[in-house]
Structure 1
Amino acid sequence: MRERRDDRSRRMRPHRAAVGTRTRNRDRGQLSLTVVEAAVATLFVLAVAAGFALAPPAPASESDSLERQATDAASLVASVPAEAPGTLLGVACTSSGDFDARAARLHEVASAGLPNGAFVSLRTDVGSVGRPPPETARVGTATAVVPRCTATLEVWYP
């Protein structure tokens, strides 16, 4: 009888070992394929978003830059106060003599915010100041309007 027990225990041992191994394999955690796909998709979306966020901005075209510079200069010219009531441009447009007396100051104000190498030309009904752009120049144009005067301002590079 003793042999039987030993026999049984021998037979049972391989079975128990196999069951124990299976149980251990089942207890070991495995990552779900859905979780892996979600993690990869999240990383991909974050990488694309970071690419857009960190990419340098597209350079503005040169004509847009010239137009912006001309608009800024025209705003400056239209807003500078005069020693009399009104703006410098409005007082300058009163007559040709007044324009000539204030032409240097108008040119100075119009050129104030421009980068080096840029030229400015300002034309009104009563006079003009600055060199007009040559036909081959890149030009940005804007208009400054104040009471009694409309001025066309051109910013250009040779």
Structure 2
Amino acid sequence: MSHPAHTQSAKCKVITVSDTRTQETDKSGALIKTLLEQSSHEITEYEIVKDDAMAIQSAISSALNQENIEVILLTGGTGIARRDVTFEVVEKVLEKELPGFGEIFRYLSYEYDIGSAAMLSRAIAGTANEKALFSMPGSSGAVKLAMEKLILPELSHIVHELRK
């Protein structure tokens, strides 16, 4: 559980990685935004990018260079299909990886959600340019699990630490 003194709001960019989703059909991106707003965090930007390394890199780089963004939350492209390249892009950007995020996410997915298929997830998190990055699978169930059990309970604490 997050430290009680760390209750500040985070300024967030939500990126959905998908070749097929639109703003009307992006359930996972919408869920991230809803959960952030319910937790008093601010969504400063939202976009959908193709499952393409250059498009993902461009969206992340743009966010890393903006002062009004402290947290980048990505959904999609974390599987093992040929087009799933989010992990590779995020991994190259990170200055400090938070390996516990992916480890605990896969454990929780295994225990409470999808069983042994959890090993196919390449969820990853870390920091770059004094911002937090979280990359989650594209399913709304995975987003709900990651946001409610891992990200939201610690988001204010993480932002507090990055502001030091």
Q: Please, what TM-score do these two structures have when normalized by structure 1?
A: 0.26
Q: Please, what TM-score do these two structures have when normalized by structure 2?
A: 0.26
Greater strand content = 2
Higher RCO, 1 vs 2 (CA within 8 Å, ≥6 residues apart): 2
